[in-house]
Amino acid sequence: MPTVRDVTFNLLRKLGVDTIVGNPGSTEETFLQNLPADFTYILALQECSVVGIADGLAQGLKNPVIVNVHTGAGMGNAMGAILTARVNKTPLIITAGQQTREMLLCEPFLTNVEATTLPKPWVKWSYEPARYQDVPGAFMRAYAMAVQQPAGPVFLSLPLDDWNQEMDDVDVFRTTSTRVAPDPLRILEFSKRINQSKKPALVYGGDIARSDGWDEGIAFAEKLNAPVWCGPFSERISFPEDHPLFAGTLPAAIGPLSKTLEGHDLVIVVGASVFRYYPWVPGEYLPSGAKLLQVTDDPYEAAKAVTGDSLISDCQLALVELGKNVRERPAAKGQDTAKRNPAPVDLENVNSPLTAKQLFAVLSQYAPEDFILVQESPSNIPELGRSRLGIIRKPDSYYTMGSGGLGWDMPAAVGLAIAEKRSGRNRPVIVIMGDGSFQYSPQAIWTAVQRDLHMVVVVPRNEEYGILKSFALLEKTPNVPGLDLPDLDIVSLAKGYGATSYYADTIEDIGSRFKEALERKGVTVIVVPIDKHVHALLDN
Ligand SMILES: Cc1ncc(C[n+]2csc(CCOP(=O)(O)OP(=O)(O)O)c2C)c(N)n1
Ligand SMILES: [Mg+2]
């Protein structure tokens, strides 16, 4: 008779899920024993990196990935990245071993007490099979739950003695649709309101990128001839930032956001929260007299929107349907052209250390035509966005976390680089990583080196948690302790994980190291000192 393992691995083959990212312990070894040759196990050295790598890989492959971590402690370490996977809407089947059923009542060492409660509220479904025979069916249900919109992580707690049990060779494979089409009546209502509006504005978010709606988003904006804003803290970019209709990123605060949209009588948000605010700056949600329409694939987002009317749908499908029904508009008189042109930077007269702006200008000179950009560099996001390197022009080329949880981007970049290698796209992954942010998941670099990936990490080193100083200024909270980061030897850390690493502090050095890192495959970490200065928090 087949075992639970045999039946489960057969199911996973049918589902096309063949990759496990994990960090093993004794409670996971029965699952991992004699891993079939057609499955890949990717080892990461800490669970935040495990989940981050799986997240990047799943996004890069556009397919769910299995995560396997070690009972309660592994799940504890994984939680920050699980939270981010939920916000990022990444389908992950997260599994953790559980102690033997025989002993669970006496709670032996390594018992995951209340295993299904631990990952809540950040998983869509959390389950420990009631019987070993239910393990394959639980995986099927987990898959179906993870891939349906809004996609996201699910959790299975798996007692270690289940895997070798014999069971009938049941086939629990089934399929389910993954996209939700819009209500046709609601489409007509929304189209009518768009057609009646005098000056609509568009706000695009990550759902469009996830639904492969890049082209449809452009066509819709061009038909309306309306400016396109990117929602605050967007984890994906869904519209070319060099397009003449691109208007910028909305500020992440109530008052400034509505001020930015002044002059528009209708705000059409597609695939973003309404809105992802950060500091509290009071004001109206919308400019006076303006109304808001939201399209989202997530009923939760529709319910929590602070204002406006919502339509629940896959964003690509909704853009196509709305596009058929809205009237074509000419360009408004005096309408601006592309807002996002690289800012001019003087590289002739520079001080030491360089500014972030100068650093990004240098990197931009060598940036290839095709690459993936990943950033976790909080105080430098606006400057990055004004450089050629940071102006996103192509679909599926920018990724970050929508949660604010540091420690996600380094491993996610590794997962994305694995997907690039596996798919044969082979774009290099360029990571801009703050010196503070670097410390949350540095061990992901080891996985990248071991898997021979092409990744270039540039660390703007300001020796501080710069963004927190900006926040303290805005919130008028002086003398917060613990915001300085002296004496961190990031080059040695990177070398310790096997990367090639350099300290570069001149324009020539930065340029030649970056160029070399892009030409040579492999993992390179370049640490560049930059000046300390407190940025305005709501600078976009
Ligand atoms: C897991 C986690 N812990 C703490 C924070 C709070 N936090 C937000 S930004 C930041 C500092 C980031 O510093 P760095 O990467 O050096 O970027 P800089 O602001 O200097 O550009 C911290 C600690 C967080 N967002 N996530
Ligand atoms: Mg810093």
Best mutation site among 406, 433, 527 for ligand 1, i.e. most ligand atoms within 8 A of its Cβ?
406
Best mutation site among 468, 483, 537 for ligand 1, i.e. most ligand atoms within 8 A of its Cβ?
468
Stretch 358-363: mean pLDDT: 98
Assess whether pLDDT exceeds 60 at residue 509: yes
Ligand 1 atom nearest to CA at 437 = 15
Assess whether pLDDT exceeds 70 at residue 336: no
Amino acid letter, residue 479: N
What does pLDDT average to over the chain? 96
Assess whether pLDDT exceeds 60 at residue 42: yes
Pairwise CA distance, residues 268 & 229, whole Å: 10
Each residue of 46-60: pLDDT tens digit? Answer: 999 999 999 999 999
Pairwise CA distance, residues 432 & 410, whole Å: 9
471 touches ligand 1 (CB under 6 Å): no
pLDDT of residue 273: 98
CB 168 within 8 A of CB 199: no
| Residue 379 CA, ligand 1 centroid: distance in Å | 9
pLDDT of residue 535: 75
Ligand with the closest atom to the CA of 383: 1
Stretch 364-380: mean pLDDT: 96
Helix segments in 96-252, DSSP class H = 135-147, 184-196, 206-210, 214-224
Amino acid letter, residue 466: G
Stretch 183-198: mean pLDDT: 98
379 touches ligand 1 (CB under 6 Å): yes
Assess whether pLDDT exceeds 60 at residue 26: yes
| Residue 461 CA, ligand 2 centroid: distance in Å | 6
Amino acid letter, residue 382: P
| Residue 483 CA, ligand 2 centroid: distance in Å | 9
Ligand 1 atom nearest to CA at 380 = 21
pLDDT of residue 267: 98
Ligand 1 atom nearest to CA at 434 = 15
pTM for this one? 0.97
Pairwise CA distance, residues 298 & 311, whole Å: 9
Each residue of 7-20: pLDDT tens digit? Answer: 999 999 999 999 99
Stretch 363-375: mean pLDDT: 97
Helix H or strand E encompassing 460? strand 455-461
Q: Which residue has the CA at smallest separation from atom 4 of ligand 1?
A: 406
Stretch 198-226: mean pLDDT: 98
pLDDT of residue 111: 97
Cis peptide upstream of residue 121 (ω within 30 degrees of 0)? yes
Terminal-to-terminal C-alpha distance of the chain: 62
At which residue do the structure tokens 């000046």 appear? 531
Banded pLDDT at 149 (limits 50, 70, 90): very high
293 touches ligand 1 (CB under 6 Å): no
Assess whether pLDDT exceeds 70 at residue 316: yes
CB 444 within 8 A of CB 53: yes
pLDDT of residue 324: 98
Assess whether pLDDT exceeds 70 at residue 474: yes
pLDDT of residue 292: 98
Assess whether pLDDT exceeds 90 at residue 340: no
Banded pLDDT at 339 (limits 50, 70, 90): low
Residue 358 φ/ψ region, left for φ over 0, alpha for ψ in the -120 to 50 degree band, beta for the rest: alpha
Banded pLDDT at 201 (limits 50, 70, 90): very high
Percent of the chain scored above 70 by pLDDT?
98
Q: Which residue has the CA at smallest separation from atom 18 of ligand 1?
A: 466
| Residue 41 CA, ligand 1 centroid: distance in Å | 31
Ligand with the closest atom to the CA of 461: 2
Helix H or strand E encompassing 8? helix 4-15
pLDDT of residue 341: 77
pLDDT of residue 342: 82
| Token pair recorded at residue 294 | 């939201």
Stretch 124-134: mean pLDDT: 98
Banded pLDDT at 537 (limits 50, 70, 90): confident
Each residue of 221-264: pLDDT tens digit? Answer: 999 999 999 999 999 999 999 999 999 999 999 999 999 999 99
Q: Which residue has the CA at smallest separation from atom 17 of ligand 1?
A: 434
pLDDT of residue 78: 98
**3-class DSSP string for 310-348:** EEECCHHHHHHHHHHHCCCCCCCCCCCCCCCCCCCCCCC
Banded pLDDT at 488 (limits 50, 70, 90): very high
Best mutation site among 49, 77, 379, 474 for ligand 1, i.e. most ligand atoms within 8 A of its Cβ?
379
Pairwise CA distance, residues 407 & 74, whole Å: 15
